[in-house]
Structure 1
Amino acid sequence: MEGVQAVPDIKRNIKVSAVIDDYKELKRIVGLVPKGITCEFTRAYGRFLSLLYIEVDVDVLSALTQFWNSNIRCFEFSQFDAVPTLEEYTTMMDCPIMDKVGVYLYKEQHVEISKVIGPLNIPEDCLKKCLAKDDNNQVRGLKRNMLEKHLDMLVKMRNWAAFKKTLLLIIFGVVLFPRGKTEIDRAAMDAYFQFVENKACPIPAVLAETLRTVDVCRNKKKQGNLQCCLQLLYVWIITHCYVRRHMDVSAPIALVDFHKIPVKKMTVLEWKEEFAKLESEKFFWVCPWYKPKDIIIGCGSFHHVPLMGTRGCISYTPIVALRQLRQVQVKPLKEQLGGYNFAYTVGNALETNLVKRSWKHVHRKKIEGTGTPRPTVTPEYTEWREARDVQIYVPKERMPTTKDLADMTIRIEELTALVHQLQLENEAKDFKISNLEYESHKKDQKIQNQTEKINELEEDYRKCYKMSKRPRSDGGTSSATKFQEEIRDLNMLIKKNSDEKSRLESVCRSLRDENRRLETSSQEMKKELESKINQMEITVGLTRMAEIRRDTDLRAKQQQIDALEKEIQVYEENFEKLQNCH
């Protein structure tokens, strides 16, 4: 296959950890600052403050790391490839790469501490307390807690110039280039100084450290530790997966409007399964806040983009992420893939200088059209990707523990009791319905009897009416009036019984509906119970099979031990015979 080979042995279950910081004290201090000052900070530097309020789910990034392909430098999902791009990161941070000032470049040694702390207005008596030193008494960084105390003092003094620079330094050290929770190291200070003094964009360095730490974690044998700007990587993947219909504003701001995207709480295993099922059609290729004018596709003589981080260099390949940049995805050339990936050492000085010189000649491609993006791929790209034989992640089945079996047994007992209770309620409802039907039948009989009596009274009334027309000699009143009153009373009684019958029928209907609902619930409970029982039987069967295998292995090993002991005994006897002969 032309180009790049697929990773031969993809490890899909590397345990990845990360240091999560809630920045509680830092956010408290920022909360004391007038809004006008924080707005000035954002206008001057970018949306660095917004990173403090992004809550990262490490399980998402731990699962995502399993899909990294070191050869192609991208996340390799079952149907497509994706990678964070410079343009997406700079848009999120509102920190563009400008040609005249360039980007952060490692200059073989870090900036002097005095140049960093000079503009911070740290009192001389506190300066020594701020320095963090190694075992050789060399300054390796600044203590975070002391800088935060100084930041709090600057707020009280309303020294906003020093406040903004101190705040930015802390963010560089604990958010953009973290190396633990307690210190801002020399590498982070170096990137900070170039940004403040020369406006050198730190975003390529942020992306470089992100890709390098993901690559390191991906190739660890057991466990890796993500040491990078977790917030940007988290916002990037969640936005691409779930932003659809959740950022409906006309001009969304990536970090400010991110909270509108709902994110489910899942385990690492569940997130692995979620990423494994990602479909190209459902992946939101172009983020709603991404409005590019051009994209960086290369530097100097490189066909890819070599990124200089604070501790090492890695080549990133935007050619595999063209759909994210509103472009048609084409097949990458062989020379556009791979590239550098090294830490800064004396042995890599030549490569380091080549990368630095390449950033003097950045190759950009202008984006044509600003309408609705239609991410597509060429047939050549599809053929190239299919030929890579991408390995699809399949989660390993976990053997049930004793606690799992106990929990399942308790659940089965609860379901059995609930089914029994529903059966009792069903029987009680049936009995009540039978009684009501009997009462309704009695009412029907009574109504029928009263109707027959009315008919007889009406017949007598007609006879009496005829007789009332004849002259009476006794001067008595007609009996027709009495018949009319009796008929009226009977009609009222019939209406009353009819109403009662209607009420009973309504109650019967309600009870029948309730009975049907109980029957449905009972059937569902029975099905769930049967499913749990079957699952438990399978689980118990698997456990027993595993125990049988273990017992068989133990017996085989014991037989081997017995055979070896016999051989040892024979050797010892022969050795004794030889000794006796001598």
Structure 2
Amino acid sequence: MATVPEPKRKTCIYVFHREPLTSLIELGSFVTDDRLRSFVGQYGDILTLLKTVVDPVPLQTLLQFYDPELRCFTFQDYQLAPTLEEYSILMNVPVQHQTPFLDVPKEVDFRLIARALRMSVKEVGENWKPCGEVVGLPLKFLLRVARDEAERGNWEVFHAQLAALIYGIILFPSMPNFIDYAAISIFTRGNPVPTLLADTYYAIHSRHGKGGAIRCCLPLLFRWFMSLLPASGPFVDTQSTLKWTQRVMSLTSYDIRWQSYRMDVKDVIMSCGAFQNVPLVGTKGCINYNPVLSLRQLGFVMSRRPLEAEIAESVYFEKKDDPVRLEQIGKAWRSLGVRDGSVLGKKFAIAMTDYTDWVKKRVEALLLPYDRMEPLREQPPLVLADSVPAEHYKQALMESRRLREKEQDTQMELYKAKADKLHLAHQLREVQGEDASRARRNV
């Protein structure tokens, strides 16, 4: 496949470290199908994140496209940026319209922690320990307590403790084998999505141009990116013949799986208080993100360029030790600028030319990290035929995309059905083998 050589931006090597999860996965297996609905109803779909196998290569590729000024990933003719709404839907955890986590409380309230973890105040206090610059509970201790509760059949208590473990190790990782006070504080509040998004942006932004370790909820970032990429067709078929970088560089705006087909987002948080964007506070620092760049991911029209005036000021800084700024952000979150679909416009995930032209000009300034590749699939015509009204053309494009998405979803369902069938056949052979062995022993 031919490439088009051109000046390229510098790339960095990032490290994606995850703690061994064997013991947590073993605990998660206690949440059987009959108890799963109860667990998900209370804590969201966080077990899926526990079981997600993170491939570092797609993430390594994604981070090379980070656009630090706009807080997004800028590709050759489209932009992607994780949103509160997408993270909420992927986790099945609603974003509470209230002030999220701002900082770890100055004093430890063992009664609040004990109530959240369904433990005694004495038990929490005796096991509360420092680890580096943070305090919290050792993983080993919480694993033992949760396992004991599962063996007793105290499922409601066990679910709370398992969820807290996932918060500390998967969602908000800090120190190895340790659940720190920040993760426990977020768990007690029950509004993790804004903090998760903050940690994602902060981790990427603070390491941009430097490389090194990215410490955030990697399974969630991975699931978000993969949900936007083609699930079938040439992109998938070429995984054994093309590098990840080549496959991504072959994608255009037309190839991305815009989320409007998988989510029903009626309201979008567009701003907070006096901020024209959304300020976020994470466990390590503060940063803003710009929802105006992500409207297309949520299925709304992006027929004009996102004006620089709407991209607004940055609230990024290295540490969270500025009480004035934290107070400003907390106050802003009490006055959310939420827009509904009727204001944002019709659901229409086809980009208009003025927007794609704006992105291409942005690319000229940023440069791309890799050589361009020819598209893997046939692209729609760039110029409208004089004999076809613009609205009819748009509708035809949308219908074509809907049919393609439906075909991909059907293929995914077929693949899952075949996998389930193979799994059941394997289980049946195991049962038959055990029955045969038992019969031979009884002869």
Q: Please classify the TM superposition score into its range, dividing by the shorter chain length.
A: 0.7 to 0.9
* Correspondent of 2:138 among 138, 143, 157: 143
What per-residue deviation string (whole Å, max 9, x for no partner) do you get for residues 452-480 of structure 1?
xxxxxxxxxxxxxxxxxxxxxxxxxxxxx
For residue 112 of structure 1, what is the aligned residue in structure 2?
108
Where do 5+ consecutive residues of structure 2 fail to align?
Answer: 1-6, 373-443
The 5 A counterparts of 1:44-59 are 44-59=42-57
Aligned residue for 2:315?
Answer: 340
1:88 aligns to 2:86 (yes or no): yes
Give yes or no for contact 2:104–2:181 (8 Å, CA) kept in 1: no
SS of 2:26's equivalent in the other structure is: helix
For 1:141 and 1:108, locate their aligned partners in 2 and report how far apart those are by CA, in whole Å: 11
In structure 1, list runs of 5 or more residues that go unmatched: 1-8, 196-200, 246-260, 397-582
Question: Residue 221 of structure 2 aligns to which amino acid in structure 1?
Answer: L
Paired residues for 1:6-155 under 5 Å: 12-21=10-19, 23-99=21-97, 102-107=98-103, 109=105, 112=108, 114-115=110-111, 117-119=113-115, 120-122=117-119, 130-134=127-131, 140-155=135-150
User: Counterpart amino acid of 2:110?
Assistant: S
Does the C-alpha gap of structure 1 residues 20 and 372 become closer, same or farther in structure 2, counting only changes over 3 Å?
farther
Structure 2: distance between partners of 1:279 and 1:325: 18
- Cα displacement (A) at 1:129: 7.1
Distance in structure 1 (CA, Å) of the matches to 2:80 and 2:201:
12
CA distance in 2, matches of 1:187, 1:307: 15
Counterpart position of 2:361: 387
Secondary structure, aligned partner of 2:54: coil
The 1:110/1:46 distance shift into structure 2, 3 A limit, reads farther
Q: What's the Cα RMSD here?
A: 3.2
Give how far 1:301 is off: 1.4
Instruction: Note if 1:229 corresponds to 2:217.
Output: yes
Does the 8 Å CA contact 1:300/1:358 hold for their aligned counterparts?
Answer: yes
**Greater helix share, structure number:** 1
User: Residues 266 and 204 of structure 1: is their aligned pair in 2 closer, same or farther, counting only changes over 3 Å?
Assistant: farther
Query: Is residue 2:347 matched to residue 1:377?
Result: no
Instruction: Tell me, in whole angstroms, the C-alpha distance in 2 between the residues paired with 1:263 and 1:209.
Output: 34
TM-score of the two chains, using structure 2 as the length reference: 0.73
TM-score (norm 1): 0.56
Is 2:153 the partner of 1:165? no
CA 156–228 in structure 1, closer or farther in 2 if over 3 Å, else same: same
How much does 1:30 deviate? 2.5
Alignment of 1:469-548 (within 5 A): none
How far does residue 188 in structure 1 lie from its aligned partner after superposition?
Answer: 1.1
Q: Distance in 2 between matches of 1:305 and 1:24?
A: 37
Q: What SS does the corresponding residue of 2:197 show, helix, strand or coil?
A: helix
- 1:85-119 alpha-carbon deviations (Å, 9 max, x no partner): 111111111111243xx252314635626145413
Do residues 363 (structure 1) and 353 (structure 2) align?
no
Aligned to 1:217: 207
CA deviation vs aligned residue, 1:39-87 (integer Å, no higher than 9, x gap): 2111112111121111110121112111101001000111211111111
The verdict on how the C-alpha distance between 1:129 and 1:364 changes in structure 2, with shifts beyond 3 A counting, is same
Q: Percent identity?
A: 26
CA distance in 2, matches of 1:309, 1:300: 18
Residue 182 and residue 10 in structure 1: after superposition, are their counterparts in 2 closer, same or farther (change >3 A)?
A: farther
**Which protein is bigger by CA-based radius of gyration?**
1
Distance in structure 2 (CA, Å) of the matches to 1:357 and 1:124: 32
Q: Distance in 2 between matches of 1:362 and 1:302?
A: 10
Q: Is the 8 A contact 1:78 1:391 kept in 2?
A: no
User: 2:79 touches 2:359 (CA, 8 Å); kept in 1?
Assistant: no
Counterpart of 2:278, as a letter, is V
Cα distance 1:108–1:52, how it changes in 2: closer, same or farther (>3 A)?
closer
Count, aligned residues: 360
Q: How far does residue 344 in structure 1 lie from its aligned partner after superposition?
A: 3.8
Distance in 2, Cα, partners of 1:43 & 1:76: 36
Q: Secondary structure at the match of 1:295?
A: strand
Residue of structure 2 aligned with 1:304, choices 271, 277, 280:
277
Distance, in Å, in 2 between the alignment partners of 1:292 and 1:41 is 24
Distance 1:139 1:92, change over 3 A: closer
Q: Partner residue of 1:238?
A: 226
Asked if structure 1 preserves the Cα contact closer than 8 Å seen for 2:110 and 2:125, the reply is: no
Work out whether residues 111 and 190 of structure 1, in 8 Å CA contact, stay in contact via their aligned partners in 2.
Answer: no
Equivalent-residue separation in structure 2 for 1:299 and 1:83 (angstroms): 18
Counterpart for residue 274 of structure 1: 247
Question: CA separation in 2, counterparts of 1:319 and 1:43?
Answer: 31
Q: Within the alignment, does 1:324 sit opposite 2:297 as a pair?
A: yes
